[in-house]
């Protein structure tokens, strides 16, 4: 008998406790712009999402799109100003951000899931007042911080076997459109849903120690101490801050993992060892 078939059967058998464990669980997945990679990578991701839904998980996709926004701004000749390394989102930039995120990127992900046999619905945080925001900092322009998330619309989609794909845009109290950091949006949505897992797919293996080894399990206190010691630095800080806030607000655990790893979500949820860094409250 073909050894590959035996290995496949064994893998499925070993996954059974995890399939049972996550039955009817809500898993929010942040798909970063860099983690989308090629069309082949996106197709593999989409297949994993459809499988998750097929076995009873309620997946929610929150996506970024920074590289695609940068490309479009360059094409249109729109120059960006930066304050402390953060892009100022003026009205011209906001139009491009919404066009790229709600249009091209959102629909591409939804279509990839639909092509694999799922039923994805693309929306943004503005739809049904899913994510109402305050302005983060006037110096940064139309950048928002989620203040209220209404999960009812997502629960309605779950009830109808639909997979939400959410662009990180928020509605202001006076009709403004706000650009929201993708990790921040995913954390706020996961907290509102009291999600079982928040998976932050990025382009690194996880949180690393000074030797460069991935720290597979971390508590909130360890994250705080590693940040104070400068071990967690740079682009990892906003991700761990999102993780801390999410577990503080009711998400059972957050995992920071490399979205470029084939079948990363399945490895994390349905195997003994998982991948990346898992962060719990305590």
User: What digits encode the pLDDT tens for the residues 267-280?
Assistant: 888 887 778 899 99
Picking from 115, 61, 72, the residue whose alpha carbon sits closest to that of residue 94 is 72
Distance of alpha carbon 88 from alpha carbon 93, whole angstroms:
8
* 14 has pLDDT over 90: no
* 1 has pLDDT over 60: no
Q: What is the pLDDT of residue 37?
A: 66
Q: What is the pLDDT of residue 6?
A: 78
Q: In a 3-state reduction of DSSP, which class is residue 199? A: strand
Distance of alpha carbon 118 from alpha carbon 105, whole angstroms:
17
pLDDT tens readout for residues 194-208:
999 999 998 888 888
H or E stretch covering 195: none
Alpha helices in 22-64 (DSSP H): 33-36, 39-54
Q: Quote the pTM value.
A: 0.92
List, in sequence order, every residue forming a beta bridge with 172; answer none if it has no partner.
133
- Where in the chain are the domains? 21-280
Average pLDDT over residues 11-25: 80
The CATH code that applies to domain 21-280 is 3.40.1160.10
User: Is residue 35 very low, low, confident or very high in pLDDT (cuts 50, 70, 90)?
Assistant: low
Residue pair 198/243 in contact by the 8 Å Cβ criterion: yes
pLDDT tens readout for residues 73-128:
999 999 888 887 678 899 999 999 999 999 999 999 999 999 999 999 999 999 99
């Amino acid at each position: 008998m073909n050894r590959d078939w035996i290995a496949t059967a064994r893998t499925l058998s070993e996954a059974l406790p995890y399939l049972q464990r996550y039955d009817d669980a809500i898993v929010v997945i942040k798909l970063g712009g860099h983690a989308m990679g090629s069309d082949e990578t996106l197709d593999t991701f989409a297949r994993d999402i459809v499988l998750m839904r097929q076995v009873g998980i309620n997946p929610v996709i929150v996506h970024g799109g920074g590289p695609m926004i940068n490309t479009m701004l360059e094409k249109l000749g729109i120059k960006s100003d930066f304050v402390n390394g953060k892009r100022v989102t003026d009205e011209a930039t906001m139009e491009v951000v919404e066009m790229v995120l709600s249009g091209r990127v959102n629909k591409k992900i939804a279509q990839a899931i639909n092509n694999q046999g799922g039923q994805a619905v693309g929306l943004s945080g503005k739809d049904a007042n899913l994510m109402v925001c305050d302005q983060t900092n006037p110096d940064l322009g139309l950048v928002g911080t989620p203040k209220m998330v209404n999960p009812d619309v997502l629960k309605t989609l779950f009830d109808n076997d639909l997979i939400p794909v959410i662009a990180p845009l928020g509605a202001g109290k006076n009709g403004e459109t706000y650009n929201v950091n993708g990790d921040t949006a995913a954390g706020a949505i996961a907290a509102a849903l009291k999600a079982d897992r928040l998976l932050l797919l990025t382009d690194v293996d996880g949180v690393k120690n000074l030797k460069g080894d991935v720290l597979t399990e971390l508590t909130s206190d360890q994250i705080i101490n590693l940040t104070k010691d400068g071990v967690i630095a740079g682009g990892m800080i906003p991700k761990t801050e999102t993780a801390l806030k999410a577990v503080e607000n009711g998400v059972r655990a957050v995992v920071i993992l490399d979205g470029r790893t084939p079948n990363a979500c399945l490895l994390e949820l349905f195997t003994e060892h998982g991948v990346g860094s898992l962060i719990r409250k305590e």
